[in-house]
Structure 1
Amino acid sequence: MKAFLEVHFKLIMTIWIILVSVLGLLYLMNYMKFTSLMSTVVSSQLQVMSTSLERSIIRAEQLGLPLQEMDNLPELMARTRARDEQVSALYVLDAGGRVLFASGTELLDPEHRPRILRRALKGDEVAWTLEESSVLYSGLQLFDGTRQLMGGIVIAYDKSGYGAVLAQVKLHLLEMTLMIFGSFALLIFVAVRLGFGDVNKVFKLISSQLPRSHDASGAGGLELVPGSMAHRFAEQIDQSNRMKAQVRRELDAMTAEVSRLRSDRSHHEEVKND
């Protein structure tokens, strides 16, 4: 019985480990997929804001108004920023990287400034995104009528808002993963117990050491189904016991015969000597 429990336990643990690995991989993939989706949605929203500002700037530029003299831009930027409370700042830069207009923080974050300027003024992407640990930057390059770069729009988005959403989704994913594991773990346990019930009877037969005269159909007090593995195994054990008993009887008979012959021989020699 102990051997069966060891095999039974190892089999269940192996299946559980595989199940944990699969569910863990699915959990990680779903979380990464949702994180990417959230980042894409926020970036698309910020791009809409940038495009709205770009249209106003391009119309003013077509009227011959230089970028630095567009006095209505601060008001437009303030209205744009008010659309989403997670937008911490908006910037309009000139071709040299100088901040012409700002709504929110007056200056770019010194830590992120080199990377922002490289993406905004020297990158190949007209619409770009730069994701840092706590801030998501979205920008749009501005071109004049001759397709010369005249500056760019930069929007800083505070990630703490959708970071809380990600944490909540992560918790829900973890809860669902644990529920799925618990359900399948119980199902696997029951399935293995039922599926290996016949094996359990075989181990009981081995541990019970069947008597020689026991019938295979009820060996060791177990109710065996005819044709089952345990029943066949019991028949083999019973047959083996009968063969051992027969061999033992033959050996006993041979031993007795040898002893008789030795006794007769000794008696014959004693008579001859007399």
Structure 2
Amino acid sequence: MKAFLEVHLKLVMTIWIIVASVLGLLYLMNYMKFSSLMSTVISSQLEVMSTSLERSIIRAEQLGLPLSEMDNLPELMQRAKGRDDQVSALYVIDPLGNVLFATDSKSLNAEYAPQILRKALNGDEPSWSLEKSDTLYSGLQLFDGTQQLMGSIIIAYDKSGYGNVVAQVKLHLLEMTLMIFGCFALLIFIAVRFGFGDVNDVFRLISSRLPKEQRHPASQQPQLKPGTMAYRFAEQIDQSNRLKAQLNQELDSVTSEIKRPSLETVQ
């Protein structure tokens, strides 16, 4: 057990840290991927809504009706808003940024208005989106028959429902990540504990062969199975000890033969 705590447990904990790092990275990547996917899906839905309103506006414009005089447009905007409960407001603005029609408030959010108008009137892309902490703004620039900008459609989408879905998915991802880590951690522990079992025998063998003053109190000669790594290691140690003892005997005999003539000369 001491060998396990000193060696095996360190190896297990190192592998656990590596697995946890990999799973954490995968969790973060999956969460970011899902969040981006949700934003893309919602933006596509809002783009379809904007395109539907655009067709009605273009038809009226082709009949010579100015954008500011399209009296049926508020009804169309309310109908479009009713298709999705998360749509908080729709706006139609002119090239100067003035709100011509709105389903709710007659003015844009004062905090985000400059960014929204920059996207809606000066952006390079006709279809645009702007994501904030609580609201997703999406819109579509409107052009007349001469390709002159005559305004823009702005849709404000409440992200509270979207945020709840993302939070639930985040929780499920975390649960699955912890479950996978728990399974891997148990398998790694079992694999190291039994797969490196010979290491325990080697450590006990080394400890049992140490001098008594250096030996651990609980160390004893382990019962080794033939063919195991510890058994082969023990055979090598025994062979080394036999060679060492044989060499010491030969050195002693040589030393005694050298000393004997010297004694005879002295006598």
Report Cα offsets for 1:110-169 as digits up to 9, x if no partner.
111111111111111011011111110000000111111100000000111110110110
In the alignment, the residues of structure 2 paired with residue 118 and residue 80 of structure 1 have an alpha-carbon distance, to the nearest angstrom, of: 24
Shift in Å at residue 74 of structure 1? 1.1
Contact persistence 1:210–1:237 (CA under 8 A): no
Unmatched 5+ residue regions in structure 2?
A: 212-219
Percent identity between matched residues is 72
Correspondence for 1:209: 209
In the alignment, the residues of structure 2 paired with residue 148 and residue 252 of structure 1 have an alpha-carbon distance, to the nearest angstrom, of: 111
- Aligned residue type for 1:129: S
Correspondence for 2:215: none
Report Cα offsets for 1:170-226 as digits up to 9, x if no partner.
000000000000101111111112221122211121112289xxxxxxx93413232
In the alignment, the residues of structure 2 paired with residue 68 and residue 210 of structure 1 have an alpha-carbon distance, to the nearest angstrom, of: 98
Shift in Å at residue 29 of structure 1? 0.7
In the alignment, the residues of structure 1 paired with residue 247 and residue 256 of structure 2 have an alpha-carbon distance, to the nearest angstrom, of: 14
Correspondence for 2:122: 122
Q: Cα RMSD over matched residues?
A: 2.3
| Aligned pairs for 1:1-274 within 5 A | 2-3=2-3, 5-209=5-209, 220-226=221-227, 228-250=228-250, 268=267
Contact persistence 1:43–1:129 (CA under 8 A): yes
Contact persistence 1:210–1:220 (CA under 8 A): no
Unmatched 5+ residue regions in structure 1?
A: 212-218, 269-274
The DSSP-based 3-state class of the residue aligned with 1:150 is strand
What TM-score do you get using the length of structure 1 for normalisation? 0.87
In the alignment, the residues of structure 2 paired with residue 108 and residue 93 of structure 1 have an alpha-carbon distance, to the nearest angstrom, of: 10
- Aligned residue type for 2:56: S
Report Cα offsets for 1:65-107 as digits up to 9, x if no partner.
1111111111111111111111111000011110000012221
- Aligned residue type for 1:92: V
In the alignment, the residues of structure 1 paired with residue 54 and residue 2 of structure 2 have an alpha-carbon distance, to the nearest angstrom, of: 76
Number of corresponding residues: 259
The DSSP-based 3-state class of the residue aligned with 2:84 is coil
In the alignment, the residues of structure 1 paired with residue 255 and residue 147 of structure 2 have an alpha-carbon distance, to the nearest angstrom, of: 115
